[in-house]
Amino acid sequence: MACFPLVPYSNRVRGGRFSFAGRTIELPTRSDDPHYEHGHGWRQPWVLEGHQPARAILRYRHDADSWPWSYEAEQRIGLAQDCLNIQISLRNLSDMPMPAGFGLHPYFPATPWTHIQANVTGMWETDAEVLPTHHVLPPAGANPTTGFYVAEAAFDTVFTGWTRRARITWPGEDRLLDIEAEAPLDFPVLYTPPGEPFFCAEPVSNITDAFNRLDEDTGCMVLLPGETRSASVRFMPSQTI
């Protein structure tokens, strides 16, 4: 239905504030965005750098501001052999190491019988502001490993121990979608808002508020000056009959 890029990190930073390399970073927040969610990539226009009938290259350059690192992000989007492939990359253009993360935020149609399955081992329990508090086991009644109907769960949750594969099935429409991601997209975020005709299954590289939890396995990367990290996600639709 839609898919926006997550750069230079995924999800929320508590209060839009964190410390890195002895420096305090304060991002612009407001009442409806108190934790500066998802960074810059979904807020700004991207430049179309090139295209062919079945592929496109989009690029975004960020000059240092309240985020004191300049960087460049790129999406390479292509259709081939019944597969949509999106490669996202992030390059540090500054002269200092930069904390970083990235990912994709795709939306999918939700019906009463839409089903998702993805092998995981744990999840981050959250507080009222959807910020992580404890690492726990997935709930027995809505464990992605065994699969669940998205209409029967209310997640806005980061899961851990992901094998970077997921399958979404729409039984009433006899179709399914397989998703395969590459490292370092090691965390799936599932957003299943009750009563909505959509849900999200997001391959990302970092947990929520990763920059404030650097002593844990958060997926936070540190890009050296000039360094680039990238990963691809493949979306492969097929019929179930």
Count of domains for the chain: 1
Q: Which domain holds residue 56?
A: 2-239
Q: Residue 206 CB: number of other CB atoms within 10 A?
A: 27
Task: Kindly state the average pLDDT of the residues 42-71.
Answer: 97
Q: Residue 241: its pLDDT value, please?
A: 66
The better pLDDT of the pair 124, 172 is held by 124
Average pLDDT over residues 28-41: 96
What is the pLDDT at residue 215?
Answer: 84
Mean pLDDT across 150-160:
96
Q: Is the pLDDT at 172 greater than 90, yes or no? A: no
Residue 168, pLDDT score: 98
Percentage, residues of the chain above pLDDT 90: 95
**Does the pLDDT value for residue 1 go beyond 80?**
no
Q: Is 173 or 89 the better-scoring residue by pLDDT?
A: 89
Q: How do residues 181-210 score in pLDDT, each as one tens digit?
A: 999 999 999 999 999 999 999 999 999 999
Amino acid at 110: A
Q: Is the pLDDT of residue 43 over 80?
A: yes
Looking at residue 204, which CATH number applies to its domain? 2.70.98.10
Is residue 112 reached through a cis peptide bond, with omega within 30 degrees of 0 on the bond before it? no
How many whole angstroms separate alpha carbon 206 and alpha carbon 9? 7
* Dist. CA 70–CA 118, nearest whole Å: 35
Average pLDDT over residues 102-125: 97
Average pLDDT over residues 54-66: 98
pTM above 0.85, yes or no: yes
137-146, long-range: CB < 8 A, 24+ apart: 144/116, 144/117, 144/118, 144/119, 144/120, 144/188, 144/190, 145/117, 145/118, 145/119, 145/120, 145/121, 146/117
Residue 240 pLDDT > 90, yes or no?
Answer: no
pLDDT at residue number 216: 86
Decide if 117 contacts 147 (C-beta within 8 A).
yes
Average pLDDT over residues 132-156: 96
